Amino acid sequence: MLTALLLALVACGPCRKQLGTLVSDFGNMSAYAQQTGAFCVLVATMVVAMLLFKLCQVGGTYTFSPASSVALTEMCKLALALFLHARINGARDAAAWSEGVTARVLVHYALLSAGYTANNQMAFYILRSADPGSLALFKSTAPYLVALMLRCTGQRISELQYVAVIINCLAIGVVQYDVCKGAGLLPRKVYVMMTVATLLTATTSVWNQKIVKGFAVPVNLQNAILYTYGTIFAVLSFVLLPEEKPVGFLEGYGPLAALLVIFQAFHGLAVTLVYKYADASAHAHPSSHPRPHPLSHHLTSPPPPLLTSPAQSSRTLPTRR
């Protein structure tokens, strides 16, 4: 596991220049090619991210602890955020490490991070019983939930959009209902977990959008605080919550499990590139990117508005036509 992480970090060094050239070449393509390329990258990233959860399982269960996997992912992101804040933002003194941080900000970050961590861990348990397709179908309601929640804060939703929301929910019922059995395709417990996960995704999205984004804290410091809380919560859940098959913190990690950690930690970069090059409509799935990636604001300007409703994204995202 550690070897894989070290190899990934070492591999990043020589590839930086090539990566920069690739991104630069991508920027010189036509708008259509950029959007198509960004869409393909996004689809591939999302599909691989979901499939890795399934591929890591052996006999329908994980050989490692999901809580430790989430904790390791948070640690990777935390290391990157701290590095960026120190090196690129030039944070050298105590003032730079506490810029804009107040008790109120810390409480909001702690609660938001608790929501994200719970959601991330729930994905492991959901995908133990459910297939990635069903979860993706269910999570397709998240943008609508975000929009409906933002409706309470004054955002307008047209009648046609309400119709789309209703049709979408009915169609999910059609796909997931087994007429012969007279019940859903999956156990009821899984539907409850998927509902909670989707609600959690939408709530944290709106929270992030409406409250946390208003804080005057540098992005990398903000990420560092969020990931610190995320690490603490994940480690606490590893220690306190009972597991069916108790394993050590670093026990049971094969190549695929290590890849899952690395992919979860860094796949936000691909999504950030999509924000830069694709139209807002390409990124309709808030659940796909639960929080800003540490490198996000170095790739895009302004930083990608995460977990927003499609309507809001369209007004905030930089688009290239």
Partner 1 sequence: MAFLVIISSVFFGLQVNVHSWLGIGIILTATHLYMNVALRAPPK
243 part of the interface to partner 1, by CB under 8 A? no
143 part of the interface to partner 1, by CB under 8 A? yes
Size of the site for partner 1 (CB under 8 A): 44
Q: Per CB under 8 A, which region of 1-9, 26-34, 41-49, 224-232 contacts partner 1?
A: 41-49
Q: Per CB under 8 A, which region of 70-78, 82-90, 108-116, 131-139 contacts partner 1?
A: 131-139
CB of 173 to partner 1, least distance (A): 8
321 part of the interface to partner 1, by CB under 8 A? no
214 part of the interface to partner 1, by CB under 8 A? no
Residue with Cβ nearer partner 1 (12 or 43) = 43
Q: Where in 263-282 is the site for partner 1 (CB under 8 A)?
A: 279-281
The answer to whether 288 and 47 have CB atoms below 8 angstroms apart is no
Q: Where in 279-308 is the site for partner 1 (CB under 8 A)?
A: 279-281, 284
183 part of the interface to partner 1, by CB under 8 A? no
The answer to whether 175 and 137 have CB atoms below 8 angstroms apart is yes
133 part of the interface to partner 1, by CB under 8 A? yes
Q: Per CB under 8 A, which region of 5-13, 42-50, 85-93, 95-103 contacts partner 1?
A: 42-50
CB of 276 to partner 1, least distance (A): 18
Among 13, 154, 242, 246, binds partner 1 (CB under 8 A): 154
State residue 61 phi and psi, 5-degree precision. -145, 165
Among 41, 112, 147, 217, binds partner 1 (CB under 8 A): 147
* Pairing status of strand 183-184 against strand 177-178: antiparallel
Query: d(Cα 187, Cα 193) in Å, to the nearest integer?
Result: 10
Query: d(Cα 89, Cα 221) in Å, to the nearest integer?
Result: 9
Query: d(Cα 42, Cα 288) in Å, to the nearest integer?
Result: 9
List residues near partner 1 by CB under 8 A: 43, 46-47, 50-51, 54, 131-137, 140, 143-144, 147, 154-156, 158, 160-161, 164-165, 167-168, 170-175, 178, 185, 279-281, 284, 309-311, 314-315
